[in-house]
Amino acid sequence: MLSKKARPPLPKITDPENSYFHPVFKYAAEEALKICGFNKEIEVVGQYPSGSGPIDFVFRRIASGKILIPIEIKRSKTSVRGLGRRQSRDYWNNLGNTCETPFYCTSNLELTELFRNDQHRPKTSAQLIKLTNPIIILGKTKENIFYEAFINCLCEVVGIVIGGSQYSYVTAFTQFQTHIENRNSNPREWHKLFVPMCFEYIRGAASNYSSLTRRTLMWKSAGYYQTNPKRLIELGRKVDFEGVFKYPCPDPNDNEAFTYGILEEASNSGKYLGGGDEVAEVVGEVVTEYIDKGYIETDPELANLLAIISKVCIDRELLPDEEIFDPCAGSGALLKVLPSFSIFKLQPRQIRANEINPFLAEVLSLRLGLAFAPVLDTDNCPKITIAPLETLEKDLLKKVRVVLMNPPFIAGIRSSEIKKVCAERIRQVSGKQSILDMGQIGYEALFLELVRHLVPDSTVIASVFPAQYLVRLSKEIVNFRQFLIRDFGLKYFAIYPRAGIFEKVIKQTVVLIGQKGSSSNQVKVIEIEEKLSNLDFHQLLRGLERKLNNPTHGVNIIARPRIEFERSVKEGWRVLYGMGFRADKLIKKYMTGFNKTHDLELRRGTIGNSGSTELTVFSKENPLLPSVVNLIPKKWLCPVLNTTDDMPRLIGPSNAPEQSFLPPAAAYKQSTPERKILISIIKEYLSSYQLKSSKQKKKEKSDEQILKILRADQKDLGKNWVIIPRGSRKKAEVGLLESGGVLLSTNVVLVKIEDEVTRRLLASWMLSIFGQLQLELYSAPQEGMRKLEIGSVGKVQYPDFNKIPEKKAAALAKLAIDENAIDYNNAVSRTVDKLWAAQLYPSDPEGCLSEAFEIFNYLVDERRSIGGS
């Protein structure tokens, strides 16, 4: 019997997550605890803090405060099957010993998944617990029946997690995953496994669509055709799913392809879920581990945002023969959202997808076909190519009017070969050299440039892109911003919180929207304050179409003249949106006519600049490679500043946190005793150090390469530096190096000033809210961290120190040593801030200070929200 307490209304899939989905879950979870008899000892707690962000819900013991299980709530079944699984597992990992059980859970109310962490089953999909009835469909089930079914499902979860009920794992798709892992080097053998499995999945999914039911009515189970497998392809082709139903077909004696349990699970999954998401998740795990380490699927919430802004940009429906194109479609996550939200009125023939990876062909075809299942036909089906973008002909894309894409992000240093291919294709297509092929620009930039050349004029291009392209100051990034304004036809860009989007990716992203051949008088910035999962996308679309400045809660639109973006390409665009705009106004108000730091001697530290810091930086007491350190002559040893967390203010040989070494010049000359010692150190390093796993694959270096690195990087830069950490998360620290004998790593930016008072005054200014506000403004956020470069520090303005009265100058210089650094979590006014405010704006120092701190705190909030910290 359900409680008489008022039940929250059931949500639609487009309703905001926090305000609609969360109340339903909490009500049902509390009812389940009550029914199971645990409600007096266990409570349901929302937005529980953890190391990886607030957990949507936890079950917590009232007496001890111990957590029993973390639960992640999503809006769609696709998100549950994808990011929801990974987030809930991350929450469990971050809870550590505060979580009593090995279980974690994710749900969108319709679909609930329970997992048990098990070191013997490392893949998330292998940790899935079999629930009796985990699926109820919103919108197709009466409210009473839905609540009863959902509460029963949560009762089963409570019974397993808290009551100790027996459970078993879902094994069929885990078995399928093992089979495809064993064929991950051969696309033809890989494909054979998908033919019967997808046939059975489609057969199950057909029950949800009357037209597909009619067309598959005569299909028998896939196992029926084992003696004549080509019948699977013949029957499937009559519906479509071209990427699945193509030769080669499996052999009749291929028992892996016709495993009964796998086919049964595929049929059931198709019947109850029907979108291919669980197949995509399994394939994604295998592709990421064995084939393409950089493969990341687009989150459906971000896919909706891309589609909505592109619709507003083109400002019309597509004609029947016009197409939407994804040039790097992956498993189809981006394109499959289009029919479900009806952003564009589309037929499947208007969808064109390209993907380079042949191992994604089957799941891409399956998902796109099922997305359009009610109208899918051999004459009305998505058009899919499996090929490098560089091989596509312009004629193939002549009907494309909208491009939606999440391009491959490959750092410039790792993409030199593929960039050459892309640049050459740009030259062939355009008759001109690539605009963007310079420096260490990432492959994604050239990919975007090539897409622009391949599609017709007036095509709208909406792309996910690294946010650093808006703010960083290197020549290649400045050139890219110029490209966005002059060539890409930039009309919109959207910034949004990183939470829940690309959790496995370091780079913060934005959405760029341009129209080829157009030149708008203004660029609109869409600032999204809420998590994307909390947005009402239908309301957002209506608001944007009506040109509202606040189209929905948590979204603001700022229109800026195009000329402002042109003028700011060298400086970066941070000052044109968000709190950066207010910060820029404050700087112009209080600091006009000030000196520029770029006029001083600026440089980065050198240690570690070319890598191999495992060799060149080590702990004084407990080195990582003691066998290497033991070979280093004591007179070569030298303290080094590498780690900048809790950096000493006044740095010297006695308090530098780590150790390095400085080979003498003779070590770089042939046939010297010193060179023999250095070579022995390098050889021991290469033989004893095993490359650690990393997100970017590293190549092993030779001893000659290591020798070159040491010669270039192991330098003593002397003394009289103001030191500013390039990366900071907790405190806005500044340091001073006033004595020699300390090496400096590439993790710091250095400002050289010989005069002690002037040096300390600059350090005092940099330490103050006025210096820190500028550093915050000119930094680039990276995973919530503040990241600075030489160019960022060079933009900082500072007052003429000669105009400061001698007594006040002495007090300010002393504070460069004595004052605490600003804590990002609790930025409060200090003596150094008050003294500088009085110098800066004597008529109203308190007002000046209050304004500076208000803007600084907002800048930090924006950086952490967008960066995900």
Q: What does the pLDDT look like over 174-204, one tens digit per residue?
A: 899 999 999 999 999 999 999 999 999 999 9
| Lookup result for tokens 């913060």 | 508
Report residue 844's pLDDT band, with 50, 70 and 90 as the boundaries: very high
* DSSP code at position 289: I
Q: Is 64 exposed, middle or buried (0-12, 13-18, 19+ CB in 10 A)?
A: exposed
Note the pLDDT of residue 272.
82
* Sequence-ordered alpha helix ranges (H) in 273-375: 277-286, 300-314, 337-341, 361-371
Report residue 526's pLDDT band, with 50, 70 and 90 as the boundaries: very high
Note the pLDDT of residue 500.
61
CB 482 within 8 A of CB 569: yes
Q: Which CATH number fits domain 17-161: 2.40.30.40, 3.30.420.40, 3.90.1570.30, 3.40.50.720?
A: 3.90.1570.30
Q: Closest Cα partner for 190 from 260, 252, 250?
A: 250
Query: Structurally, what CATH architecture does the domain formed by 300-409+459-473+487-576 represent?
Result: 3-Layer(aba) Sandwich (3.40)
Above 70 in pLDDT, residue 3? Answer: no
Mean pLDDT, rounded, of the chain: 91
Report residue 869's pLDDT band, with 50, 70 and 90 as the boundaries: very low
* Tokens linked to 480: 């890219």
Above 70 in pLDDT, residue 113? Answer: yes
| Lookup result for tokens 């403004």 | 777
Q: How far apart are CA 427 and CA 449, in angstroms?
A: 11
Note the pLDDT of residue 486.
94
Residues 60, 132, 266, 77, CA torsion sign: negative
Note the pLDDT of residue 593.
92
Q: Which residues pair with 641 in a beta bridge?
A: 744
CB 596 within 8 A of CB 567: no
pLDDT, one tens digit per residue, over 623-671 is: 888 889 999 999 999 999 999 988 999 999 999 999 999 999 999 999 9
Q: Closest Cα partner for 265 from 282, 248, 250?
A: 282
Above 90 in pLDDT, residue 30? Answer: yes
CA within 13 Å, CB half, 221: 13
Q: What is the mean pLDDT of residues 807-821?
A: 97
Note the pLDDT of residue 123.
84
Give the CA angle between residues 127, 192, 217 to the nearest 5°. Answer: 90
Q: What is the mean pLDDT of residues 385-409?
A: 96
CA–CA distance from 345 to each of 340, 342, 360 (Å)? 10, 6, 26
Q: Closest Cα partner for 270 from 361, 220, 199?
A: 199
| Lookup result for tokens 């796993």 | 693
Starting at the edge strand found earlier in the chain, the sheet holding 351-355 runs 383-386, 351-355, 323-326, 400-405, 460-466, 509-515, 490-495, 522-528, 555-561
pLDDT, one tens digit per residue, over 291-348 is: 776 678 888 899 999 999 999 999 999 999 999 999 999 999 999 999 877 788 999 9
Note the pLDDT of residue 259.
95
217-222: Cβ within 8 A, 24+ apart: 221/263, 221/267, 222/196, 222/197, 222/258, 222/263
CA–CA distance from 803 to each of 393, 798, 836 (Å)? 66, 12, 13
Q: Where are the domains of the chain?
A: 17-161, 172-208+224-274, 300-409+459-473+487-576
Which residues are CB-neighbours of 8 under 8 A, at least 6 positions away? 20, 23, 24, 27
Above 70 in pLDDT, residue 173? Answer: yes
Report residue 695's pLDDT band, with 50, 70 and 90 as the boundaries: very low
Q: How far apart are CA 701 and CA 739, in angstroms?
A: 34
Q: How far apart are CA 26 and CA 187, in angstroms?
A: 45
Q: How far apart are CA 833 and CA 771, in angstroms?
A: 10
| Phi, psi (rounded to 5 degrees) for 627 | -65, -30
Above 80 in pLDDT, residue 549? Answer: yes
The beta strands (E) that lie in 223-322 are given as none
Q: Strand, coil or helix: what is 683? A: helix
Q: Strand, coil or helix: what is 325? A: strand
